[in-house]
Structure 1
């Protein structure tokens, strides 16, 4: 744990150069992170279990986790955008393109890809169920 914290602390300090809200106890950031640590972490652990054990509730958890991540990202950045981004350093290309856009973009891209995966899987299951139901109806006739 100490090694992990030693790694995370400098990374957090470096990221705070792009988003100064991470240097202080910004109530929006703290609120989102409390929810993330408590609820989203539990959903993520359950999702790992569901994926590894091919559980029926896998896509429900995957959708819930993805929506939580997208909502958390929105609530992290939208209030600051509405204020004119006073806490975001967009003047430095590294802070803007790598820290703010690339790394935060991953937190948008991955949930969207997971949502699409669940969408197509559920659509295919529905189509399979519809085909099975239609076949049963034809046999009864």
Structure 2
């Protein structure tokens, strides 16, 4: 008893007890995508409400915070996707683009922290929420872009130096 034919490779692979799916591939992918969107949306909404305990400017829709986050999403989001493409395909502009995105992120983070400081830094419900959410959750927005920016700076400087040396040798 061979069992039913299957869609896997190699075609002569023996799969005792194989039962084909009763749902179509498009149905499976559709259900997966819908479920993923619902789960991510629910987590986004719940985590946003929780994060607002560390910075109530989000719950109050503070103009400065909304502006910084909006610019980050509209400008840095697509630029980040372009940077991923540039890195993956070995484009010459990948380091410049990464550096620009990092500078934008660091600028936005500085504005985010400085506006809170200038307004009295009284947006957290407790010291726990302040240090874990406001400071801890935002630390990565300083550390990671700083590390990437430093790496890109070194790569760009090295490339410019090599280019300068080639120009000097050819003259």
- 2:141 aligned residue (79, 95, 107): 107
Distance 1:41 1:122 in 2: 23
Give unpaired runs (5+ residues) of structure 1. Answer: none
- Which one scores higher on RCO, CA 8 angstroms, separation ≥ 6? 1
1:116 to 126, 145, 150: 150
Q: Give me the TM-score of the superposition, normalised by structure 2.
A: 0.73
Instruction: Name stretches of at least 5 consecutive residues in structure 2 with no aligned partner.
Output: 1-36
- For normalisation by structure 1, the TM-score amounts to 0.87
Which structure has greater helix proportion? 1
Tell me what 2:127 maps to. Answer: 92
If you compute each CA radius of gyration, which structure gives the higher value, 1 or 2? 2
Number of aligned residue pairs: 135
What are the Cα deviations for residues 66-123 of structure 1, in whole angstroms up to 9, with x where unaligned? 111111112222112012112134x423x23321222201001111111101111011
1:25 to 47, 61, 70: 61
User: Aligned runs of 1:66-77 on 2, under 5 Å?
Assistant: 66-77=102-113
Following superposition, the deviation at residue 131 of structure 1 comes to: 2.7
Q: How does 1:1-141 map to 2 (within 5 A)?
A: 1-89=37-125, 91-93=126-128, 95-137=129-171
Query: Could you report, residue by residue, the CA deviation over 1:37-78 in whole angstroms, capped at 9, with x for unpaired residues?
Result: 211111111111101001111122111111111111122221
